[in-house]
Amino acid sequence: MPCYSISAIAEGLGFAKGEVGIAYIDMLQPVLRLAQFSDSNTYSKLLAKLEILNPAEVASSKIQIFDWNCVLLPDSALGDDGKMHALCAMIEEHFVHTEITSVNRKCFNEAIGLETIDRICLEECQDVRRSLDEKYYCLASTAALIDYLEKVQRSLFIPKSMRIVYEGSERSLIIGRVCFLRTGADTAKHLELITSMKVVDNVECSLFGVLNFTCTYGGARMLRASILQPSRDLSSINDRLSAIEELLGNVEGCNNLRSNLCSMRDIERSIPMCIGESNEQSPRFAEYRIKQMTLLLHTLEMVEPLLHTLESFQNGLFFSYAKVLQDDRFVNLLSTIRRYIQDDSLGRRGPLKGRNELCFTIRPNLNGLLDVFRKTYTEYVSDVEAYHLWFVEQVALPLRLSYSPSRGFYFSLTLDKDEELPPLLTDKIIKVVRKSSCLLCSTEELSTTYTFLFKMQLNERIDFNFKEIILLSDKLISELLSEMRRYMSCLYDLSEVISSLDFILSLTTRAELSNWVRPDFSDTMAISQARHPLMDCIDKSNFVPNDVYAGPDSRFIIISGPNMSGKSTYLKTVGMLQLLAQMGSFVPARIASFRLCDQLFSRICHNDSLESSSSSFMVEALVFLVTHYLDLAELDRLYPYVDSYHFEASFNSATEKLQTSHKLLRGIHAGPEYGFELAEIAMFPQEVINNAKQLLEKLRNKKKKQNEKDSCQLRKQRAVMRLRHRLAQVITMSDVENSVLLGYLNQLKKSYMEEVETIDKASNAE
């Protein structure tokens, strides 16, 4: 998915160190988005924000601008303390395609930034100023960004034409970046959220790939942003889940909504034409503007059918979208465009039909000179068609008249592969090109014609008339754009509605195809038959689902097992399902309950460790740890909130291979027996090997008994603690029938008594 986002960054100094302001804009959907937040020395929040933006360019105070193609970093850009050098190095490390050029520091001026916002902001968005009080670095970034766009990119913004949004990070889940020695890695990469780790730039084998059924650029952009920064606002998450649930239950309405969206064109590219002025006078640019205006007309014609479809749903989210589409300005805007653009100017296929469509997009009688050129153009095309009929009669061959932008008008004839050129045709044609069974050619008469003054190519004359028509049409498009600017706010609203609906439909499609379920939210993560989202879509038959549990009574999960047993896949499954739930998507499981989290970290590497405050880490974090170090798995004997699991594996003596079931079981993995395999390869006596195996079994049993002896009291504490948390969870089960609840309580009591009895027996046996 292409991205044309440009960002500007300003950072505080002295006592304001760590305060970061950012302004960014996507040129395909020019909404100016602003943010300011306190960041750490590792710039984790900033890097997470830039990951979502995927910027083509980044401008930063202390004279940094990041660009794809060039790198210019003067000495003054680094600063004496090297602080900005750290920011540059961090961005270079995590965004390898981004290079550095320079911008003058004086461009970052908060006063100018505030004046710029007053100048370009829509009247409907003036309330954004209240959010910008004392947001100095955010305003400074705004000044630098707009100055760069206007002076370097030559983009001129019409006053009162741009939507400006201030975005806080309080309601978003932050996917943590963890920096390692020599290696930069992040959770988004580990979990394969946007691209595959196995195939570089492969989007299909990623979470974005399996969820992406969008049909608009805005919908795809919203999907990507939601994956990289899911919400932690429970109300908005449940609204989205309820919308998906209603779509799944209303197949006809879902199909109608999908049909409406597929018929609507992406208006993301039409909005920039309305907010900016351009001095470019080229036929190619004029063609682009005419096409975009035609697509916008078609999209506005679909607003009413989309509104009728939305009114058939009950969900509050659809109701809010329908309320936006009831705006009378859509009718007025459509009427304004129809005064310039013909309604039937869309849908013609083929190079010539498309060219004729461009010529006659503008209604007649709006410009006398335009009507004259169009009449001349039509006469020239008619002359070519008449000449074609005459020439076919002369040569008695089924020549077809064809057109391409590069060749103009030409003749084509179907011939067998070894068939010779007819003699009658040989002396009459020029510019002969043979492509397999097709002959392409022209004639002297077709290529040129004679006037009373000079010899002139007919195709060139047609091209000349076409260019004049396009340029004159573009002048009328400019007049239309001037009239449309009063309706800019509703265009932004329409773009947001289309993107949101496209995004929700994409999630609905995946949930429908893969039979995913709606997640619930509580203080516990409890998932039955969890499946990896990618494996569930690619290879469902061979994937072994597993259960997941982490809650107040079990916050630290250690998972052990041999290689290829499924430890990493299990870890990624937990992370992906948490993300899916908080972005408002259904999840691949039988039953799923999640706890809202603020940050998600992963460390799938072999060096360094994740730094965290011990109090926050031990009290609040839900941790899933996979390891080969079996001593770590014994932490469950020391801490009541730590549980150990392992993936089952057994050695097949017939095939002499290790077989893994990919099934998660409670307890600690017994560990590998590589030494015995090595001894057998080294031809040790079988008696020695058997004695060693018996000794190993005795040592393991002895250790097991010792562990049971040491942990009886801890196990009893854990049983009491687990019962307490289970009973606390019962309070939240208000929607469960009393009979079911009573059965669950009896089962809890039975399980607790059996566990305590088992512990007491083990303690007495000692």
Same domain, 337 and 406: no
Taking the C-alpha atoms of residue 345 and residue 336, their distance in angstroms, rounded to an integer, is 16
Instruction: Please say if the pLDDT value at position 356 is more than 90.
Output: no
In a domain, 152, yes or no: yes
User: Crossing angle, helix 283-301 and helix 458-484, to 10 degrees?
Assistant: 50
In a domain, 302, yes or no: yes
In a domain, 596, yes or no: no
Residue type, 593: S
Given a contact cutoff of 8 angstroms between Cβ atoms, the answer to whether 516 and 510 are in contact is yes
For residue 454, how many other CB atoms are within 10 A of its CB? 6
Same domain, 218 and 235: yes
Same domain, 238 and 308: yes
Query: Does residue 585 or residue 638 have the better pLDDT?
Result: 585
Provide the CA 468 distance to its chain's centre, in angstroms: 41
In a domain, 329, yes or no: yes
> What is the band of 511 on the pLDDT scale with cuts at 50, 70, 90?
very high
Which of 248-262, 270-284, 386-400, 433-447 has the largest mean confidence? 248-262
Dihedral over alpha carbons 210, 214, 216, 217 (to 10 degrees): -20
Looking at residue 243, what is its pLDDT?
96
Give the angle subtended at the CA of 196 by the CAs of 190 and 201, to the nearest 5°: 125
- Tell which residue, 342, 341, 334, has the closest CA to residue 484: 334
Question: pLDDT digits over 317-332, tens only?
Answer: 999 999 999 999 999 9
The mean per-residue pLDDT over the stretch 667-675 comes to 69
Query: Does residue 515 or residue 67 have the better pLDDT?
Result: 515
Same domain, 321 and 447: no
- Tell which residue, 7, 2, 100, has the closest CA to residue 47: 7
pTM above 0.85, yes or no: no
Using DSSP, state whether 192 is helix, strand or coil: coil
In a domain, 711, yes or no: yes
Residue type, 60: S
From 425, 458, 491, the end of a domain falls on: 458
**Residues in a beta bridge with 530:** 546
- Tell which residue, 108, 110, 53, 121, has the closest CA to residue 492: 121
Joined together, the tokens standing for residue 737 give 């029938």
Instruction: Please say if the pLDDT value at position 603 is more than 80.
Output: no
Given a contact cutoff of 8 angstroms between Cβ atoms, the answer to whether 163 and 197 are in contact is no
DSSP secondary structure, 465-515, as one string: HHHHHHHHHHHHHHHHHHHHGGGHHHHHHHHHHHHHHHHHHHHHHHHHHHT
Taking the C-alpha atoms of residue 87 and residue 365, their distance in angstroms, rounded to an integer, is 59
Range of the domain at 83: 5-169
**Residues in a beta bridge with 714:** none
Given a contact cutoff of 8 angstroms between Cβ atoms, the answer to whether 130 and 124 are in contact is no
From 169, 198, 215, the end of a domain falls on: 169
In a domain, 703, yes or no: yes
* CATH code where residue 324 lies: 1.10.1420.10
Taking the C-alpha atoms of residue 508 and residue 255, their distance in angstroms, rounded to an integer, is 11
Given a contact cutoff of 8 angstroms between Cβ atoms, the answer to whether 261 and 501 are in contact is yes
> What is the band of 635 on the pLDDT scale with cuts at 50, 70, 90?
confident
- HSE of 266 in the Cβ direction (CA atoms, 13 Å)? 15
DSSP secondary structure, 687-723, as one string: HHHHHHHHHHHHHHHHHHHHHHHHHHHHHHHHHHHHH
In a domain, 351, yes or no: yes
Instruction: Mean pLDDT check: name the lowest of 135-139, 442-446, 571-575, 710-714.
Output: 710-714
- Tell which residue, 192, 184, 51, has the closest CA to residue 608: 184
C-alpha dihedral sign at 305, 308, 312, 316? positive
Same domain, 355 and 486: yes
Same domain, 438 and 300: no
Using DSSP, state whether 379 is helix, strand or coil: helix
Taking the C-alpha atoms of residue 163 and residue 117, their distance in angstroms, rounded to an integer, is 10
Joined together, the tokens standing for residue 45 give 């929040």
Sequence-distant (≥ 6) Cβ neighbours of residue 141 within 8 angstroms: 8, 9, 10, 21, 22, 23, 34, 59, 61, 108, 113
For strands 184-186 and 276-277, give the pairing.
Answer: unpaired
C-alpha to C-alpha distances, 408 to 379, 442, 443, 444, 613, nearest whole angstrom: 16, 10, 12, 14, 71
Instruction: Please say if the pLDDT value at position 229 is more than 60.
Output: yes
C-alpha to C-alpha distances, 26 to 5, 30, 144, 345, 484, nearest whole angstrom: 4, 5, 16, 29, 21
Same domain, 160 and 222: no
Same domain, 139 and 274: no
Using DSSP, state whether 283 is helix, strand or coil: helix
* CATH code where residue 435 lies: 1.10.1420
For strands 430-435 and 438-442, give the pairing.
Answer: antiparallel
For residue 718, how many other CB atoms are within 10 A of its CB? 21
* CATH code where residue 146 lies: 3.30.420.110
From 424, 458, 492, the end of a domain falls on: 458
Taking the C-alpha atoms of residue 242 and residue 265, their distance in angstroms, rounded to an integer, is 27
Question: pLDDT digits over 688-719, tens only?
Answer: 878 888 887 787 777 666 666 556 777 777 77
Taking the C-alpha atoms of residue 12 and residue 31, their distance in angstroms, rounded to an integer, is 25
Instruction: Please say if the pLDDT value at position 665 is more than 50.
Output: yes
Residue type, 88: C
Same domain, 113 and 222: no
Same domain, 406 and 501: no
> What is the band of 472 on the pLDDT scale with cuts at 50, 70, 90?
very high
Same domain, 389 and 435: yes
> How many domains does the chain divide into?
4
Taking the C-alpha atoms of residue 333 and residue 327, their distance in angstroms, rounded to an integer, is 11
> What is the band of 152 on the pLDDT scale with cuts at 50, 70, 90?
confident
The mean per-residue pLDDT over the stretch 249-261 comes to 92
C-alpha to C-alpha distances, 760 to 7, 714, 716, 757, nearest whole angstrom: 64, 12, 9, 5
Same domain, 313 and 420: no
Alpha helices per DSSP H over 250-339: 251-263, 271-275, 283-301, 303-310, 316-325, 329-338
Given a contact cutoff of 8 angstroms between Cβ atoms, the answer to whether 309 and 492 are in contact is no
In a domain, 495, yes or no: yes
